[in-house]
Amino acid sequence: MKSGRTVNGMSSLWRARRWLREVTGPVALGASAAAGRNAVLAAGPRRALLHAALITIRPRQWIKNGLVVAAAGAAGALGHDDVPGRVGLACVAFCLLSSAAYAVNDVNDAAEDRRHPRKRHRPVAAGELDARAALAMSAGLMVTGLLACAFIRPLLAAVGAGYLLVTLSYTMIWRRVLILDVVAIAGGFVLRTVAGGVAAPVTLSRWFVIVVSFAAVFVAAGKRRAELRRTHETRGEGRRVLTSYSERRLAWVLGASAGGALFAYCIWAFQLPAVNGIPWRPLTILPFAACLHRYGALMRGGDGEAPEELLLADRRLQAAALGWLVLFALGVSAGG
């Protein structure tokens, strides 16, 4: 009987240790690992599986895929034939592809996320969504998204595959390389823009693509600056690449990219002639500059680590973006 109790006790201990490994993942033993485990276990009640899966695919970040629609709109193609349906489906496809990349990112970063004050609540890091389930979900989203792209145009499927290549290689490689991490993030935005042009299909203005490129670098550098400031203020752990950055270097990148975006936007805006004597496109320069200024002010205040949250939360930024959208829409409508 004693031997049986011993075996049962060892079996229970083995199951408990296995469960703990599944929850905490491959984190090295030590003070930081123990702190990460304790933070995860004390995070609160576990979310349901479907809720955890929904959080992992990050619907709030789908707003970035609005660039797919914006690219076709900037070319004045949304009012032609079946273009709205094609571009809308392309936007949905890129939502699926981006969500697939987020799931892979969460699995890859689970150990690091557990030591982050906010990211430790992500379902994979918190043990609410098994890593294998997250990867299976990611694979399904990738296949569905690429099939949707191929249904619109085979070339769009190639753009979608290129987007996955950039985002997944960022997760595995580029996020640890100085400057190239920012370039990779910006590349994802640019490929969304290209996807909008391919889906329409319509030729995009070179200057519009340059605008998106500079603006994307501006957002990506602001993200790094916010992360760097947080690690300095909390004296916590951050991305390894942050040790190679400095406030001064990132400030230079932010200034250069903001200036480049505004300069390129002005050239792009003045390429379109006035309609009935009204320079609709040049009028959008002011709200565009206001968006850059407001976003820069928020970054100087320490925000910017989650760009989509700023856009969804800051009223001044929303007002500037709405002003741009109204003027732009009026210009497109007036131009027929």
**CA 134/CA 105 separation, integer angstroms:** 10
**Residue 19 within any structural domain of the chain:** no
Whether this prediction's pTM lies above 0.95 is answered by no
Number of domains forming the structure of the chain:
2
For residue 326, what pLDDT band results from cuts at 50, 70 and 90?
Answer: very high
**CA 95/CA 37 separation, integer angstroms:** 32
Q: Are residues 155 and 88 in the same domain?
A: yes
**CA 214/CA 130 separation, integer angstroms:** 38
pLDDT tens digits for 151-164?
999 999 999 999 99
**CA 300/CA 302 separation, integer angstroms:** 5
Q: Are residues 154 and 226 in the same domain?
A: no
Q: How far is CA 247 from CA 12, 206, 217, 300, in A?
A: 51, 31, 16, 11
* CA atoms within 13 A of residue 128's CA, in its CB half-sphere: 23
**CA 183/CA 190 separation, integer angstroms:** 10
Give the pair of three-digit tokens for residue 176.
Answer: 């640890």
pLDDT tens digits for 26-35?
333 344 444 4
Q: What is the pLDDT of residue 20?
A: 41
Q: Are residues 91 and 160 in the same domain?
A: yes
Q: Residue 266 is part of which domain span? A: 205-336
pLDDT tens digits for 200-245?
999 999 999 999 999 999 999 998 888 888 787 766 666 677 777 8
**Residue 42 within any structural domain of the chain:** no
* Residue 334 Ramachandran class (φ > 0 left, ψ -120 to 50 alpha, else beta): alpha
Q: Are residues 151 and 259 in the same domain?
A: no
